Amino acid sequence: MKVAGTFTFRGPRSVVWELLQDPDVLSKAVPGARRLVRTADDRYEGLMKVGLGPLTAEFSLNVTLADKVPPDHFTMHIDSKGGLGFARGTAVVDLADAAEGGTTMTYSSDLQIGGRIVSVGQRVVDTAARSMTEKGLEALQRALEERLADRSGER
């Protein structure tokens, strides 16, 4: 399954980069992640909950950040397993300056999903993945706004 797109954050690239390295914030970017804990440099473990059609399942989640070129690029390796199947693959993230102090994120992921969870159908899986990605990006934007407000003393 492939998901790709762009999203423009209303904040500077250095702060967006910083957010994407923070496990509390990074968990908002990984669709379905409930918890993410740093276990080593650039390695995180956690729990992911996914609902697809009539099925809802929890998965263990391992995320590794690699190929880092701050504040421009990184690759996220994802491996998750649960009672209903697995998901594993990569997501490539590129950040670039955008107009008016914003940051454009270009992302592409290629995930392999297997097990009983696939029984709901590829179309349902694709729709859920796109929806979860959109929600994750919106959550990242809110986290960015909070961090910028904290830094400017508005809170």
Domains of the chain: 2-148 (3.30.530.20)
Dihedral sign for Cα atoms in the order 85, 58, 144, 24: negative
The pLDDT of residue 122 is: 66
* Single pTM value for the model: 0.84
Query: Which pLDDT score is estimated for 57?
Result: 77
- In tens, the pLDDT along 63-98 reads 999 999 999 999 999 999 988 888 899 999 999 999
Ramachandran region of residue 115, left (φ > 0), alpha (ψ -120 to 50) or beta? left
**Bigger pLDDT: 16 or 49?**
16
- If 0-12 CB within 10 Å is exposed, 13-18 middle and 19+ buried, where does residue 35 land? middle
Q: Does residue 121 have a pLDDT over 70? A: no
- To the nearest whole percent, how much of the chain has pLDDT over 90? 52
